């Protein structure tokens, strides 16, 4: 059971007791507070030096305490991936949001509802959604702020910046009295498939060039199409030192607060930057492998940087977290639901690990690991100084409404059959 306390824990005799990593029941998701703060501050400084707004993506951590820290260090607004995340933030006073996933048609009623009480901007990349939004906003007599998603080379979604149809979509947004064209947004997701820092820099330059060029094309078509916001994102492309080009107005990194093994492998961070780990206990030692109690439900089954290391496994194990030392000749080879199988070679420092020995695992993908957690243990050194909730709620379909709609439909059908 997670204690919802702050700095200390009370013993049976009423005395305040300190809690340490060694006291935790595993698996436990742990945040190193000094590293977290250092990561947050570093990105804040980068945004300020480049005169761009910082709008962090909260899908990485889903945690109000971290949102407050990001705001303290200069965040001008926040990015969300789900309407549930938007509800959590707006319900806690954070109203300047971008939903950075192209809007699904089924999300429109909820998006309109949230936008009526906040400054929520939604994302589109098709005329079908623009037209559906126009109709919904007209019915609700509301104007909704809209961003257009641009494909800068990732080729997952977004409009083609070279296609005349993309300008047509922007024009359709502008022409609607119920929609406000706020600007353009992209995500350089292909930066996660780079090989080193120079490769990251190439993608970062491409990301900015595509967006600045497309913004210019929109403006050249009509001053009404000039994007107020030109927003770029991805942690890797924000982690290199070159200045952000003029014409970019906003950055939206997310996983920079924690980092992870994938970021470490491609060169966008150092091991001593990694702020999130999963504390796990050895369940058994079987000579060639050990088994730990962190399985897929603790680490996720994200495959990690397989483009660099096809057999990279499911994360890395620190031998000395404070100094960033990672166990060599050691591979988290397999995960089942609650078990992790770790191959230990002849030179592995875990070759003779005893049952009960605790290890700190650096996950492949911190966002997914965090999403599997219900809370974080916040550590300074070996001491636990706080616990923070992970707000991973999901939007639920209202079954009562569905039942009511079904009954109405049945009644309508009965009336129709009588005529």
Q: Residues of the chain with pLDDT > 70: what percent?
A: 90
Do 61 and 36 touch, CB atoms closer than 8 A? no
pLDDT exceeds 70 at position 8: no
Q: What is the mean pLDDT of residues 361-390?
A: 97
Q: Which residues are bridge partners to 122 per DSSP? A: 146
pLDDT exceeds 80 at position 403: no
For residue 16, count other CB atoms closer than 10 A to its CB.
10
Antiparallel, parallel or unpaired: β 179-186 and 229-232 = parallel
Burial string for 19-38 (b: 16+ CB within 10 Å, else e) reads bebeebebbbbbbbbebbee
Q: What is the pLDDT of residues 313-363, one digit of tens each?
A: 999 999 999 999 999 999 999 999 999 999 999 999 999 999 999 999 999
Confidence of residue 15 (pLDDT cuts 50, 70, 90): low
pLDDT exceeds 90 at position 1: no
What is the reported pLDDT for 257? 98
What is the reported pLDDT for 395? 77
pLDDT exceeds 50 at position 419: no
Q: What is the mean pLDDT of residues 58-82?
A: 97
State whether the Cα torsion 129-135-136-140 is positive or negative: positive
Extract the tokens encoding 96: 């300047």
What is the reported pLDDT for 412? 42
Place of tokens 């088994």: 291
pLDDT exceeds 60 at position 148: yes
When mean pLDDT is compared across 273-282, 316-325, 387-396, the lowest value belongs to 387-396
Q: What is the pLDDT of residues 200-234, one digit of tens each?
A: 999 999 999 999 999 999 999 999 999 999 999 89
Q: Can you list the domains of the chain with their CATH numbers?
A: 9-26+268-389 (2.40.37.20), 95-253 (3.20.20.10)
Do 154 and 190 touch, CB atoms closer than 8 A? yes
What is the reported pLDDT for 17? 61
Q: What is the mean pLDDT of the chain?
A: 92
Confidence of residue 396 (pLDDT cuts 50, 70, 90): confident
pTM beyond 0.85, yes or no: yes
Confidence of residue 4 (pLDDT cuts 50, 70, 90): very low
Q: Whole-angstrom Cα distance, residue 66 to residue 368?
A: 17
Confidence of residue 413 (pLDDT cuts 50, 70, 90): very low
Q: Whole-angstrom Cα distance, residue 74 to residue 55?
A: 9
pLDDT exceeds 50 at position 410: no
């Amino acid at each position: 059971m997670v204690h919802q306390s702050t700095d200390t824990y009370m013993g049976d005799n009423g005395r305040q007791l300190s809690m340490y990593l060694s006291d935790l029941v595993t698996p436990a998701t742990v945040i190193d507070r000094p590293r977290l703060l250092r990561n947050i501050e570093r990105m804040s400084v980068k945004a300020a030096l480049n005169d761009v707004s910082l709008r962090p993506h909260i899908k990485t951590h889903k945690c109000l305490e971290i949102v407050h820290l990001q705001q303290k260090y200069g965040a001008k607004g926040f990015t969300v991936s789900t309407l549930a995340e938007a509800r959590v933030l707006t319900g806690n006073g954070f109203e300047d949001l971008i939903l950075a996933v192209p809007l699904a048609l089924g999300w429109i009623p909820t998006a309109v509802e949230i936008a009526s009480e906040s400054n929520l901007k939604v994302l589109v990349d098709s005329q079908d959604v623009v037209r559906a939004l126009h109709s919904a906003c007209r019915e609700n007599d509301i104007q909704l702020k809209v961003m257009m998603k641009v494909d800068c080379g990732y080729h997952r979604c977004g409009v083609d910046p070279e296609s005349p149809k993309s300008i047509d979509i922007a024009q359709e947004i502008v022409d609607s009295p119920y929609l406000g064209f706020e600007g353009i947004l992209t995500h350089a997701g292909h930066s996660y498939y780079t090989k080193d820092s120079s490769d990251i820099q190439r993608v970062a330059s491409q990301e900015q060039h595509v967006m600045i060029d497309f913004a210019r094309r929109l403006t050249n078509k009509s001053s009404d199409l000039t994007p107020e916001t030109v927003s770029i994102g991805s942690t890797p492309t924000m982690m290199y030192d070159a200045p952000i080009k003029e014409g970019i107005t906003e950055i939206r990194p997310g996983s920079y607060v924690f980092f992870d093994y994938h970021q470490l492998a491609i060169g966008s961070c150092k091991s001593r930057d990694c702020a999130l780990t999963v504390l796990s206990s050895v369940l058994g030692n079987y000579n060639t492998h050990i088994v730990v109690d962190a399985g897929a439900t603790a680490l996720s089954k994200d495959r990690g940087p397989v483009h660099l290391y096809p057999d990279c496994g499911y994360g890395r194990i620190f031998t000395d977290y404070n100094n960033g030392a990672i166990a060599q000749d050691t591979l988290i080879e397999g995960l089942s639901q609650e078990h992790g199988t770790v191959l230990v070679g002849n030179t592995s420092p875990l070759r003779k690990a005893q049952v009960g020995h605790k290890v700190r695992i650096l996950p492949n993908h911190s966002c997914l690991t965090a999403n599997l957690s219900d809370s974080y243990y916040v550590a300074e050194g070996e001491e636990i100084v706080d616990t923070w909730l992970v707000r991973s709620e999901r939007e639920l379909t209202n079954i009562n409404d569905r039942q009511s709609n079904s009954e109405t439909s049945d009644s309508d059908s009965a009336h129709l059959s009588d005529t």
